[in-house]
Structure 1
Amino acid sequence: MRKQIAIHIFLCLLVFTAVVDANEPRVTRFQQAEAFAEVGDLVRHRYYQETDAVDLYHGAIEGYLSKLDPHSTYITPEQLRKTQERLEGAFEGIGIYFDLIDNFLTVLSPIDGSPAYAVGILPGDRIIRIDGHSAVGIKSAEVEERLKGPKGSIVTVSVQRQGHERILEFEIVRDKINVPSVPYAFCVVDNVGYVKVNRFSGRTTEEIRSAVGELLSKGIEKLILDLRGNGGGFLEQAVSVSDLFLETDRLVVYTEGRRRGSREDHFSRRDPLVPRSMPVICLVNSSSASASEIVAGALQDYDRGLIVGHTTFGKGLVQKQYRLKNGGALLLTVAKYMTPSGRPIQRPYDESGQAYVEAGHDNYDPNNDPESTVAKPIYYTEILHREVFGSGGISPDVGVSADPPPSFERAP
């Protein structure tokens, strides 16, 4: 009860000290806080069922932030841990890429050097039991919960393998897993290199530089950069990856906040790794977002690469993370991204959160619909002065409708 009262008081203070218009009369702010406190009292004492104060606390914060934009959000301590693992590209577990195929937890590939790789887990293996409990019909989130764990702990998996009549049992000692941003890079044909990039984590530029350098040493004359399904990551990594393709001192992206003088420019700083004469194709789809859109936008604006695929998600808002005392964090939008030509990446977000996400991943592209009544702000590339669109993601130079590649994000 004492905990509930403390949280209830904190919620009142949250509203009372929340970010409101500085010009709003002080009495109005008191009235808002008072009304919120009254609602809290009535819920606590009159609601027909017992309530969870922590759930109400989280709900109040989420409701407050929902009035801002789709990307300002509260992150619980557990969600924050998972987010940091994804961005840092490291976690503790067994180390597999997987997908859920026909209700079976199917291994796409073990991560090189991982515990799963060491014990002999193979691509195509179906994990049907984890620690003796069925894994058939398992959900993605549950896979992570059951396969991840502290370094040194043991998990037993039962595997159904093609060509084997009996079920194979593996006892796997969990370890720290470093998940590469570049899961694979190879020559498609003798003179065409291909690099797949899954995320923009702390080591992404280093990994791409290594992969592209190896392909260059094999004599490639053309390069495909695959950003499909890449949901983004660190801004500075997007800038340094663009550095590999652009000449020195090119504006890669700039951000603008609410206050005058808040613009921040981000430039390429090194000589390009990929020669200007080498043709580059950048593959994108509706799941390419944020940092992916910065790279694709810079390549397109400088006519440095041909953008092929489907219009990207359109996530062009900058979030800053503020750590909270409860171990969680607030991701608050503080600025917007603009490509070198000055076009905004962010698409409109009047709809609800779920509708916004679904619209970003659908197959409709207003920029390529001649009958669309949606406004199409037009900008021009820096070198060839070609028309490009803004305020709705990065529209490809060549549109291609195709299924996205398998997800290599799942790696417990």
Structure 2
Amino acid sequence: MINYGKDKMKRALTFLIIVFLLISVTWFSARVWAQRENVFHSLRLFSDIINLVSRHYVEEVKTEDLVKSAIRGMLNELDPYSQYMDAAEYRELQVKTQAKFGGIGIQIGMRDNVLTVIAPIEGTPAYRAGLQAGDQIIEIDGEPTEGWTIADAVKRLRGTPGTKVRIKIRREAIKEEFEVTLIRDIINIKSVPYAGMVKSDIGYVRLADFSQVARSELEDALDSLVREGAKKFIFDLRGNSGGLLQEGFEVSNLFLPKNRLVVSVKGRDIGTNRDFITSEDGKYLTQPVVLLVDRGSASASEIVAGCLQDWERALVIGETTFGKGSVQTIHPLEESTALKLTTAYWYTPSGRSIQKPLKKDSTKEKSSREYRTLGRLKREVYGKGGIAPDLYLPYPLLPKFIARTGREIFFDFAVRYKARHKELKRPIKFNSEILEEFKTFLREKKIEFTPQEFDSSQEIIAQEIEREVASKLEGTKGEYEVRLAYDPHVKKAIELLMTATKQEDLFQR
């Protein structure tokens, strides 16, 4: 009797499970079919509209342009980072992540609507040819550059290594224009533009991006600083907008022991979910570290900052970071184009979302969850997007009359000042004559200011001029030596590190 009852119940339960599965499959199939029908209907509607516009619009339009505009409009509705990239944009992305390309090795910008050399990159064809900051590029291969954009110039200057490009230059110190022919070469973009000692046992290193060489260049720079006597580090990620997720993980691993979670990636597709965990001990586990961030620190920079903060491996100083905590997957398409699509968000080891909500009023909201570091101290850290520093320290603003024109005015003045003072050397001795010359320069550029504005800003004006002139005289090395001497974030980091013998000492403030 009992056995029979059990068998009967089992058969009934099995029957119910089969019925449930059949209903579920039928419902799921119907749902998928309905979704597919909706997609087909929408595509038919889109096709009809494209056809009507291309045939009857008052002016002739290209169907291809309409479709691409529609695609971009669709992706704009998703988030700021999903993007359809044409062939040129896709190529540029590959250049940025690979950290090398064929070219002549200059940074260029627009000054007074003229293509201008911002700086030659050391060791490149442009550097060897003697191109200087401030040189105006007025022709490329015999074609005048008037009306060109920076993108137009980059397209013409880059090319296959070994090929020639001819450019005509106008220089401040020379009355006559001159031509120079350069042979393109492989140009390597440095992820670490500068590293140096700021005190006898404190090393400073700046990481500018997270390209394929970020970890290796950073490791080389840190090794070099250690050989010079560094026992403590200032690690600068300000203005670093990110790059490759893998490089962010690798950089973090340099400072962490084995089996530590660096970042978690979570998306709608289960296949995108992943925990990035260190597989080996990093080389720099004991040196006290101060990490500098600002509003321009984003993406992979925030992975590193959040990770090292959560594991109490660095004291973070500066401003709350940008809050770009989403993962973009690249899908190559036809004709060398690609779709960059947001597929996941990433989270710090303590569970904080790096992504800042896109709603305009989201900054007013407070996280309902409390987050704490994972080290011994269990310090409170803050979520709701971006990485909030342990010590908030805003960067000084430029005087308003300078901010209206931007820092370019110091670049322009330094170019002219160097051209007019042939024997100029560092250190630059500032005096009232230099400031008066700058004041005259501002008036020539029709930049309005009051005597009170200028007098109250003399200190920062002198610093900016000294930095730009040092850059023109000694390149990156000269610029950074001056910049770091006045940088309030670096000064504070040095102050804290001077009294710290281990990482925990930095948190006892």
Change (3 A) 1:335 1:158: same
Question: Could you list the per-position Cα deviations for residues 108-146 of structure 1 after superposition, in whole angstroms to 9, with x for gaps in the alignment?
Answer: 542232111221224x34224233566688643334234
RMSD of aligned Cα (Å): 2.9
Q: Secondary structure at the match of 2:93?
A: helix
Given that 2:326 and 2:355 are in contact with CA atoms closer than 8 Å, whether structure 1 keeps it comes out as: yes
Which of these residues, 381, 392, 407, is aligned with residue 373 of structure 2?
A: 381
Name the counterpart of 1:397. Answer: 390
Q: Identity over aligned residues, as a percent?
A: 40
Residue 308 in 1 paired to residue 317 in 2? yes
More helix per residue: 1 or 2? 2
Residue 254 in 1 paired to residue 264 in 2? yes
Q: Secondary structure at the match of 1:265?
A: strand
Name the counterpart of 1:148. Answer: 158
Change (3 A) 1:311 1:24: farther
Q: Secondary structure at the match of 1:84?
A: helix
Residue 331 in 1 paired to residue 340 in 2? yes
Counterparts of 2:323 and 2:201, CA distance in 1: 33
Given that 1:128 and 1:136 are in contact with CA atoms closer than 8 Å, whether structure 2 keeps it comes out as: no
Counterparts of 2:274 and 2:251, CA distance in 1: 18
Name the counterpart of 2:101. Answer: 91
Counterparts of 2:197 and 2:178, CA distance in 1: 35
Name the counterpart of 1:67. Answer: 77
- Please give the TM-score of this superposition, normalised by the length of structure 1: 0.81
The answer to which of 198-207 and 255-264 deviates more is: 255-264
Name the counterpart of 2:448. Answer: none
Counterparts of 1:186 and 1:36, CA distance in 2: 58
The answer to which of 112-121 and 202-211 deviates more is: 112-121
Given that 2:256 and 2:285 are in contact with CA atoms closer than 8 Å, whether structure 1 keeps it comes out as: no
Name the counterpart of 1:173. Answer: 183
Question: How many angstroms does 1:79 deviate by?
Answer: 0.7
Q: Secondary structure at the match of 1:239?
A: helix
Which of these residues, 94, 114, 121, is aligned with residue 111 of structure 1?
A: 121
Question: How many angstroms does 1:106 deviate by?
Answer: 4.9
Residue 190 in 1 paired to residue 207 in 2? no
Q: In the alignment, residue 399 of structure 1 is paired with which amino acid?
A: Y
Q: Secondary structure at the match of 1:54?
A: helix
Q: In the alignment, residue 320 of structure 1 is paired with which amino acid?
A: T
Counterparts of 1:187 and 1:136, CA distance in 2: 44
Given that 1:247 and 1:272 are in contact with CA atoms closer than 8 Å, whether structure 2 keeps it comes out as: yes
Given that 1:127 and 1:135 are in contact with CA atoms closer than 8 Å, whether structure 2 keeps it comes out as: no
Change (3 A) 1:170 1:29: closer
Counterparts of 2:109 and 2:191, CA distance in 1: 18
Question: How many angstroms does 1:349 deviate by?
Answer: 1.8
Change (3 A) 1:105 1:192: farther
Change (3 A) 1:28 1:260: closer
Name the counterpart of 1:204. Answer: 214
Task: Work out the number of aligned pairs and report it.
Answer: 368
Which of these residues, 273, 298, 301, is aligned with residue 263 of structure 1?
A: 273
Q: In the alignment, residue 374 of structure 2 is paired with which amino acid?
A: E
Change (3 A) 1:155 1:379: same
Q: Secondary structure at the match of 2:89?
A: helix
Name the counterpart of 2:401. Answer: none
Counterparts of 2:147 and 2:233, CA distance in 1: 39
- Please give the TM-score of this superposition, normalised by the length of structure 2: 0.66
Q: In the alignment, residue 376 of structure 1 is paired with which amino acid?
A: S
Q: Secondary structure at the match of 1:340?
A: coil
Unaligned runs of 5+ in 1: 1-20, 352-358, 360-364, 367-372
Counterparts of 1:103 and 1:44, CA distance in 2: 37
Counterparts of 1:37 and 1:374, CA distance in 2: 42
Q: In the alignment, residue 383 of structure 2 is paired with which amino acid?
A: G
Q: In the alignment, residue 298 of structure 2 is paired with which amino acid?
A: A
Q: Whose Rg is larger?
A: 2
Counterparts of 1:26 and 1:243, CA distance in 2: 45
Name the counterpart of 1:17. Answer: none
More strand per residue: 1 or 2? 1
Which of these residues, 271, 281, 298, is aligned with residue 290 of structure 2?
A: 281
Question: Could you list the per-position Cα deviations for residues 32-67 of structure 1 after superposition, in whole angstroms to 9, with x for gaps in the alignment?
Answer: 233222212211111111111221121122222223
The answer to which of 318-327 and 27-36 deviates more is: 27-36
Counterparts of 1:97 and 1:217, CA distance in 2: 32
Change (3 A) 1:344 1:397: same
Question: Could you list the per-position Cα deviations for residues 181-237 of structure 1 after superposition, in whole angstroms to 9, with x for gaps in the alignment?
Answer: 111211123222111111111111111110100000111122111112212111111
Given that 1:93 and 1:151 are in contact with CA atoms closer than 8 Å, whether structure 2 keeps it comes out as: yes
Which of these residues, 345, 348, 368, is aligned with residue 354 of structure 2?
A: 345
Greater relative CO, 1 or 2 (CA 8 Å, sep 6+): 1
Change (3 A) 1:164 1:325: closer
Counterparts of 1:332 and 1:246, CA distance in 2: 31
Name the counterpart of 1:214. Answer: 224
Unaligned runs of 5+ in 2: 1-30, 399-406, 409-470, 472-509
Q: Secondary structure at the match of 1:326?
A: helix
Q: Secondary structure at the match of 1:335?
A: strand
Counterparts of 1:236 and 1:59, CA distance in 2: 32
Given that 2:114 and 2:138 are in contact with CA atoms closer than 8 Å, whether structure 1 keeps it comes out as: no
Q: How does 1:7-46 map to 2 (within 5 A)?
A: 22=32, 24=34, 27-46=37-56
Question: How many angstroms does 1:161 deviate by?
Answer: 5.0
Counterparts of 1:293 and 1:238, CA distance in 2: 9
The answer to which of 389-398 and 150-159 deviates more is: 150-159
Given that 1:301 and 1:381 are in contact with CA atoms closer than 8 Å, whether structure 2 keeps it comes out as: yes
Name the counterpart of 2:425. Answer: none
Residue 317 in 1 paired to residue 326 in 2? yes
Question: Could you list the per-position Cα deviations for residues 324-364 of structure 1 after superposition, in whole angstroms to 9, with x for gaps in the alignment?
Answer: 1222111122211000000010011246xxxxxxx9xxxxx
